[in-house]
Every structure is written in C-alpha cells, then in structure tokens.
C-alpha cells in the first residue's frame, strides 16, 4: 500500500484545508505563543488529549495524560462517552471522548459518516504505553470510505489498522515514528471473509521490542524494533510513547484530498452510494474493545502512577515519566501550567436536548434501518445536540479547523459543528448517558484530538 505524502493522522488534514486566520501555526521550530500555549491552539480543551508538547510553548503546557488501565469496553452503551467539548480530563467520568455522530444500535456502536461530512472518531481517555488492544468490528464499505483502528500518541507515534471500502478482504497495517512519513512501513493481511458483513477481531500487540498485528487470533504481521534503526537520526524509528486507542470512519476519497490519498482510498466518494440511499450514512460497526496494559516493574511501559508526561523534547520512551501529576482541569480556561484557573463552570458548550437531533450534514430520514439491526428506538432515549460544542464558536456557526483541531464542520457550510439546525432525523437513535454527547469527527486532525 502506498499513500501519498503523509501518515494517517496527517493525511486526513486534506479534508479540512480551511484554517482560521486567528490560529497561529506551531511546529517543532516555531513554538506556540504563551497566550495559546498548546500546539492544538485556540481550543483549550485540546490541552488534554492531542496536545503535542514538542510544539507547545513549554513541555508542561499540555496536561499530563491518564495512565493505562486494563479494561473491556463493551460498546453496548454511550453512557461513558463524552463530547470533547465537555471533557476536563477525568477518566473516571468518561471512557471515550470524540466528535461527530456515533450511534447505539442493536447492542453495538456505529461510527457514521453522513453526506458531505468528515466522519466520526472516538478516542480513549486513558493512554496505553505498550500492551495489547483488541477490537471486534465490521468495517464500512464504499469507494473512498476508510475505517481505522489505531494507536496514536500525542507526539504522533502511530500503529494502524486501516480498511478501504472497496477491498473488504484486506486489513492494511502500518506504523510511524513521530509522524515521519515512511511508506516502506506498510503491510497487508488477508481477511478470511467479508469485513463489512462479518465481525472479525483485530489485535495489536505492542512491546518495547516488537509489534504484532493479529486477525482472529492469528498473527498476520510482526515488526521488530531492531529492524527500525535510523542511522541518520541515530535512533529507533519505532512507536514508543503512550498512545490512545482511536476508532474512526473518514473520507479518504474526499475530492479536496491529495490525488494519491484518493487513489489509495479507491477513488472519490459517491455521496449517492446505496449506503447513503438506504441508511443515510456510511458506517462502521464496533463491538467489544479490550485493552491489556503492558506488565513491567520499571519503565518503559509502567502504569503505576496517575499520569504520563514528557521531561524532554526528544519525546522518546526514555523521556516519558509515569507520575502522580493530576490530569483534571478546573475549567476550560485552565492550561497545563495553571490547571486550577477558572471557576469550574466554563464548558465546551454542548447542551442537553430532549429529542433526537439530526446527524450533521444529513438529509431526510433514510428508508431503511442498519442491516441486521433491531428496533432503533429500543433502549435509552436521552440525547444531545448534533454539534461539536466548540467553546470558541457560537451555535449555528461553523468553526474552522486547525491542523490539530477537533471540529465537525471544518469550515464547511451546513449543519455541522455547533449548528443545531434540523436536517432530518436518522433511522437509528443516538443513545446518550447523563451528559449531552455531541461526539466525533474533525478530519482536520481527526486523530489528533
């Protein structure tokens, strides 16, 4: 598999080229300013997951990341999900954060991509510093439609499973060190049966010495750290830093993407595809997700404390500290250097709603339910609005996407992001927990939340 120009986390940026003029660009050579200290900028909630300390004003501008926890996520409820616009860094209150439109249907979570949208993404609130993660899932299908199950760190180490919707018998695997493009890192695993119609269990086993990708319990690929030495940079080009589990559906075939990305994704997306006609969106189906933390008495890979942070800009595994530093901000006015700033009432903006609102970018109610599903109105009926709840924009105004943003609309017109307009209810109900849940999709940094 050859993908043009950028690794997965960065390749998605092509779908959201609109950048806000008031959001300065940060890089390894041009650090963020003190008034907007995190590399994610403007959206201070991104001082939590997705803040790259190497590009931020200082290493401690980013909030420490919650340590790994062994856990089985049943994916039969959205009660433990929280919109990124409401999350203040407490993993005891949420297992996942995100943006876009995940749906609860027939005991599973669907990640959806309605017409002209940029999909849905979920990320765990805790970080895995080596270990094993399994996902029981069905992929999406369709030209230009991509499903991803990955590990992604704040400094852009990445271990991937990707599934292109025109090839339902191949799991594409890849890895990157600190976001550096190297397309010799990819490898394919053949799937025994259709990945859209049949559940399969995909697993990543990750240790300081190797990565194994398994499908249905069988090893399909192994990559050893000893094979990744880079003599030019004098270091191992091997993923090695605490990473979140991320699940997503995204439009690799979006017309605004680089041609190489479109070609890799199987061509331009057809927004009149039968999936859209029949169900109102493209979708991927997720069942149980299992995380087992790496078991070791000393670093790297421990999880004895409360949080991980970096003590050096090199951001390699010997610079990760397993610490007792807190992870919770008092408000969205707070930063990593002043976590108690604010009165605790400032919120990302997602508000509760008593009815099921439209999926951003959606049209009229689709004629059919998701295949194999039961009554979509069974179960909990608590709902939230369809927006991302961006604290930096008012309702009805599409917030621009920064290079590491987390926004549904990414500068496009229509009912996305903070918009609360009525675009037609879906055939599957969004089932939420106690808090409003506006969760997931910003393709500008879809994996950098």
**pLDDT tens per residue across span 159-213:** 999 999 999 999 999 999 999 988 789 999 999 999 999 999 999 999 999 999 9
Q: Tell me the domains of the chain and their CATH numbers.
A: 8-19+67-304 (2.60.120.200)
Q: How far apart are CA 40 and CA 298, in angstroms?
A: 31
- Distance CA(11)–CA(5), nearest Å, equals 7
Q: What is the pLDDT of residues 9-50, one digit of tens each?
A: 434 333 333 233 344 578 888 998 888 888 753 343 445 678
What pTM was estimated for this model as a whole?
0.77
118 has a pLDDT exceeding 60: yes
Indicate which residues carry an active-site annotation.
158, 162
Name the residue among 117, 317, 310 with its Cα closest to residue 235. 317
Question: What is the rounded distance in angstroms from the CA atom of residue 295 to the CA atom of residue 293?
Answer: 6
* Element (DSSP H or E) covering residue 137: strand 131-138
Tell me, what's the pLDDT at 396?
Answer: 30
CA-to-CA distance for 118 and 312, rounded, in angstroms? Answer: 35
Rounded Cα gap, residues 169 and 172, in angstroms: 10
pLDDT at 37: 85
Using 50, 70 and 90 to split pLDDT, how confident is the model at 342?
Answer: confident
Query: Which secondary-structure segment (H or E) carries 11?
Result: helix 8-11
Helix and strand numbers (H, E) in the chain are 3, 23
* Two structure tokens written together for 21: 């003029």
Structure tokens at 279: 């169900």
Q: What is the pLDDT of residue 186?
A: 96
Kindly report the number of other CB atoms within 10 A of residue 318's CB atom: 10
Beta strand spans in 143-281 (E):
145-153, 158-164, 170-176, 187-190, 200-206, 210-215, 218-224, 229-230, 235-236, 243-251
In 3-state terms, what secondary structure has residue 225?
Answer: helix
Whose structure tokens read 């992604």? 152
For residue 407, which of 20, 134, 142 has the smallest C-alpha distance? 20
Q: What b/e string do you get for 42-74 counting C-beta neighbours within 10 Å, with b at 16 or more?
A: bbbbbbbbbbbbbbbbebbbbbbbbbbeeeebe
- d(CA 79, CA 430) in angstroms, rounded, equals 11
């Amino acid at each position: 598999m050859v993908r043009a120009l950028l690794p997965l986390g960065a390749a998605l940026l092509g779908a959201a080229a609109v950048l806000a003029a008031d959001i300065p660009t940060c890089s390894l050579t041009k650090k963020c300013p003190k008034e907007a200290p995190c590399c994610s900028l403007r959206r201070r909630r991104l001082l939590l997951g997705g803040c790259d300390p190497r590009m931020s004003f200082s290493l401690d501008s980013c909030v420490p990341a919650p340590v790994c926890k062994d856990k089985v996520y049943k994916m039969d409820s959205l009660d433990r999900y929280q919109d990124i616009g409401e999350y203040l860094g407490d993993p005891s209150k949420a297992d996942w954060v995100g943006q876009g439109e995940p749906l609860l249907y027939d005991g599973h979570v669907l990640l959806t991509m309605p017409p002209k949208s940029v999909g849905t993404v979920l990320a765990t609130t805790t970080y895995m510093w080596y270990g094993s993660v399994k996902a029981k899932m069905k992929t999406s299908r369709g030209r230009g439609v991509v499903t991803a199950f990955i590990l992604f760190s704040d400094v852009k180490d990445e271990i991937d499973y990707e599934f292109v919707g025109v090839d339902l018998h191949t799991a594409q695997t890849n890895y990157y060190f600190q976001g550096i493009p190297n397309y010799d890192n990819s490898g394919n695993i053949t799937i025994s049966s259709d990945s859209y119609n049949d559940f399969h269990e995909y697993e990543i086993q990750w240790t300081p010495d190797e990565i194994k990708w398994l499908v249905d319990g069988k090893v399909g690929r192994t990559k050893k750290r000893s094979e990744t030495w880079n003599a030019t940079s004098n270091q191992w080009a091997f993923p090695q830093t605490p990473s979140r589990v991320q699940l997503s559906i995204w439009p690799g075939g979006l017309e605004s993407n680089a041609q190489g990305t479109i070609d890799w994704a199987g061509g331009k997306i057809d927004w009149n595809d039968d999936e859209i006609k029949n169900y109102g969106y493209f979708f991927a189906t997720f069942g149980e997700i299992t995380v087992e933390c790496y078991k070791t008495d000393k670093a790297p890979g421990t999880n004895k404390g409360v949080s991980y942070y970096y003590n050096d800009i090199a951001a390699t595994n010997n610079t990760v500290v397993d610490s007792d530093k807190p992870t919770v901000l008092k408000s969205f006015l707070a930063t990593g250097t002043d976590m108690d700033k604010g009165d605790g009432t400032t919120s990302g903006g997602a508000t509760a709603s008593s009815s099921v609102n439209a999926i951003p970018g959606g049209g009229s109610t689709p004629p059919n339910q998701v295949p194999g599903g039961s009554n979509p109105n069974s179960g909990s009926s608590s709902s939230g609005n369809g927006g991302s709840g961006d604290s930096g924009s008012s309702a009805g105004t599409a917030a621009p996407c920064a290079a590491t943003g987390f926004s549904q609309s990414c500068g496009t017109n229509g009912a996305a992001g903070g918009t609360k307009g009525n675009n037609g209810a879906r055939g599957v109900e969004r089932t939420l927990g106690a808090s409003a849940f506006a969760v997931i999709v910003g393709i500008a940094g879809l994996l950098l939340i």
